[in-house]
Amino acid sequence: MKLVLLGTGGFLPTDAAQTACYFLPEVGVMLDAGSGTYHLPKYLQYPELDIYLSHAHGDHTSGLVYLFASYLTADYLHGGETLDADNISGFVQRANEALPRTRIHADEKTLAFVQPIHAYLPYQWLPLQAQEPLPNGGVLTHFMMECETVGYRLDWPGHSLAYITDTIARPDSAYLEHIRGVDLLLHECNGPDHLSVLTEHIGHSHLSSALEAAAQAQVKRLVLIHSSPIESLGYSTNLEAVRSIFPNVEIGYDKMEIDF
């Protein structure tokens, strides 16, 4: 199963990283819809799109307004037709027809914030169900975390993925049981260890705490996401010093492709 990291930044897009968006092309599932959504057309191959939102903040939802343009651009990239004055109306019509096939799943609180803002767009808005069936025999489950963010776990026979963002990793965090043993964990990390008081104050995890979460949950592979646009919160030069906590760790980057 392939995962493409369309946006690995948090808070504010930068030249280096768009904001939160993670896409599974083979099944048409997207986790969050930040500014990284603009990378979607290149990877879109499934006729349906299911978007699961972790919470309502703009760095996770701003890309919801890009979907019409994304569908049209994907049609142009993959449809084999050149674009001209005679056929532009066909492109527009097909993109408009794709909008109502877009299903956006979120908890009730997130829907209450996000749905009214996008009322002019004909998406389907769906409250999260305890078990969401996924294509190819998969299932998605969710759980609430600290800072009122939803965490996700996606399981297929032989493949599993968990997505943890915008929360504080603690040794006793309840979400650790939900992500136990996954093949791939996307876990947020918003700062180096010496700024752990600050990262906790702003509702985020620091470097060692993210690695400790992965070790405690006995996941197989960890990719750190949701990097800060503020330079002093960067942690790439600190990783080797703490790698022993959880050796199979990488720092995610935009357009990184992962097979799990």
Residues in touch with Zn ion (CB under 5 A): 10, 59, 166
We find the least distance from the C-beta atom of residue 60 to Zn ion, in angstroms, to be: 6
Smallest distance from Zn ion to CB 133, Å? 27
Which residue's CB is nearer to Zn ion, number 14 or number 248?
Answer: 14
Which of 1, 233 has the CB closer to Zn ion? 233
Burial of 103 (0-12, 13-18, 19+ CB in 10 A): middle
Closer residue to Zn ion (CB): 135 or 229: 229
User: To the nearest whole angstrom, how small is the minimum distance from the Cβ of residue 9 to Zn ion?
Assistant: 9
- In the bound state, the residue with its beta carbon closest to Zn ion is 10
Cβ contacts of residue 197 below 8 Å, gap of 6+? none
Question: What single-letter amino acid sits at 190?
Answer: N
Nearer to Zn ion, 57 or 159 (CB): 57
Taking the complex as a whole, how short is the minimal distance between the CB of residue 226 and Zn ion, in angstroms?
6
Comparing CB distances to Zn ion, the nearer of 17 and 27 is 17
Smallest distance from Zn ion to CB 57, Å: 5
| Matching residue, tokens 């939803």 | 150
Strand residue runs (E) in the chain: 2-7, 21-24, 29-31, 49-52, 102-106, 124-127, 132-134, 138-145, 149-156, 159-164, 184-188, 222-225, 249-251, 256-259
| Amino acid at position 174, single letter | A
Q: Are 41 and 77 in contact (CB under 8 A)?
A: yes
